[in-house]
């Protein structure tokens, strides 16, 4: 007697399990819902397993501490959900939780009720994790409004958000900062940073690895004593700074953005999303075509729109961009990394010769205007240092 074949009664069986109807297309393969969600979860769990090998083992009985950057968009939402699923899996097998999560949402704008409501939804949906919001009562928003263009504001917000998340990870004594960048987001970042003049910083921005974080600490007792006639009381004592190491990791670097959006649409009780990010989850081809002028778009937004089209037709191209950039090696000039000059804004090592080539004749003219020239024409001001070419152009517009 011949054995029954469940796939024989299916119009389009899943190519992986052969037991359910294929309803989704996953990288040119027809798959069912269950196999697709398992595929996305496996991508994340694989990276979390590699992360466990790179982070120091905590004290006996204590889980690892991770800080997650939360944008209230689909990718970071998928990361939080997948991390929670992993914790549930371990607890269901009577194992201890492998890590604790503090998710931080950085808002450059004054406090708004919409974000507070969404964060409260996260707290109710994932009670094991801690969710917090980092804002400065509109001070950062006022500074951003003084920048010359939308591209400058978008760029500075991304850089400051990264710095704030690193500072939060250090303050929580976390063993790693987890960012929800998908393959698509990493590809967008590659071309955007190169177009802005920060190509040299790509290994520090794209690759998983340790970065230096400069943190301030209270001044020593000798500096906090009562003010003397030589030190007016109105001037605060100078802050002391130190450098700490922090591991940055991208658990979703092997998943496309469209795959994560589909994943969120399939899971039960998905996390809430911010209204400004919902367009990522909808079919907005027509909306994208309504842009009248690209001068109102930032470089980041141009890259998002470009890769949204490439991702649909040529997902392998997107993966190749992110994968190739991930192979770039961090090269430091000088005999030791301690002597390496860092950009005061983006934090990447300065490539002075590369910055000069980027500037060209236009940059030389701007530099002379900034610093002035002495009577001998050699320039009386000190040469501007501490900021790379890309950040200088971003601030100037």
Is 299 among the domain residues? yes
What is the per-residue pLDDT for 204? 87
Structural domain span for residue 254: 48-219+238-331+357-365+388-396
What is the per-residue pLDDT for 68? 98
Instruction: Please give the radius of gyration of the chain, using alpha carbons only, rounded to the nearest integer.
Output: 24
Helix H or strand E encompassing 64: strand 64-70
Is 142 among the domain residues? yes
SS3 224: coil
Distance between CA atoms of 360 and 229, rounded to whole angstroms? Answer: 49
Distance between CA atoms of 176 and 67, rounded to whole angstroms? Answer: 7
Q: Residue 361's domain is classified under what CATH number?
A: 3.40.50.620
Is 245 among the domain residues? yes
Is 372 among the domain residues? no
Helices assigned H by DSSP within 106-256: 113-125, 139-145, 150-171, 183-195, 202-206
What is the per-residue pLDDT for 363? 47
**In the chain, which stretches have pLDDT less than 50?**
1-5, 221-227, 231-235, 280-287, 333-338, 361-384
Q: What is the pTM of this model?
A: 0.83
Tally of domains within the chain: 1
What is the per-residue pLDDT for 378? 44
Is 82 among the domain residues? yes
Is 347 among the domain residues? no
Is 20 among the domain residues? no
Q: How many CB atoms lie within 10 A of CB 89?
A: 13
């Amino acid at each position: 007697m011949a054995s029954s074949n469940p796939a024989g009664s299916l119009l389009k069986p899943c190519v992986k399990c052969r037991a359910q109807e294929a309803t989704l297309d996953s990288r040119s393969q027809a798959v069912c819902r269950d196999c697709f969600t398992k595929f996305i979860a496996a991508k994340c769990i694989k990276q979390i397993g590699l992360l466990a090998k790179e982070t120091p083992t905590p004290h006996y009985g204590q889980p690892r501490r991770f800080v997650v950057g939360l944008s209230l968009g689909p990718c970071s939402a998928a990361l939080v959900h997948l991390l929670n699923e992993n914790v549930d899996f371990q607890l269901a097998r009577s194992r201890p939780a492998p890590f604790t999560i503090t998710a931080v949402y950085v808002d450059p704008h004054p406090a708004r009720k919409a974000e507070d409501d969404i964060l409260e939804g996260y707290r109710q949906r994932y009670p094991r994790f801690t969710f917090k919001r980092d804002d400065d009562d509109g001070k950062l928003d006022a500074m951003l409004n003084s920048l010359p263009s939308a591209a400058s504001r978008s760029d500075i917000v991304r850089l400051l958000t990264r710095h704030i998340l690193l500072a939060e990870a250090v303050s929580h004594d976390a063993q790693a900062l987890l960012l929800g960048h998908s393959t698509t987001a990493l590809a967008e970042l590659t071309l955007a940073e190169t177009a802005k003049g920060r190509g040299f910083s790509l290994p520090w921005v794209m690759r998983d690895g340790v970065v230096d974080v400069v943190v301030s600490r209270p001044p020593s007792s000798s500096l906090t004593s009562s003010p003397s006639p030589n030190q007016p009381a109105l001037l605060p004592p100078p802050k002391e700074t130190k450098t700490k190491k922090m591991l940055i990791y991208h658990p979703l670097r092997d998943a496309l953005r469209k795959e994560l959006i589909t994943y969120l649409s399939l899971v039960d009780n998905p996390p809430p999303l911010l209204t400004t990010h919902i367009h990522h989850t909808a079919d907005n081809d027509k909306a994208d075509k309504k842009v009248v002028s690209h001068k109102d778009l930032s470089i980041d937004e141009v890259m998002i729109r470009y890769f949204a089209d490439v991702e649909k037709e040529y997902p392998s191209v997107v993966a190749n961009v992110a994968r190739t950039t991930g192979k770039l090696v961090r090269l430091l000039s000088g005999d030791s990394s301690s002597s390496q000059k860092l950009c005061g804004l983006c934090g990447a090592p300065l490539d002075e010769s590369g910055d000069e080539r980027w500037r060209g004749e236009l940059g030389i003219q701007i530099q002379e205007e900034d610093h002035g020239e002495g009577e001998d024409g050699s320039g009386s001001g000190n040469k501007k240092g501490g900021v790379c070419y890309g950040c200088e152009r971003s601030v100037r517009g």
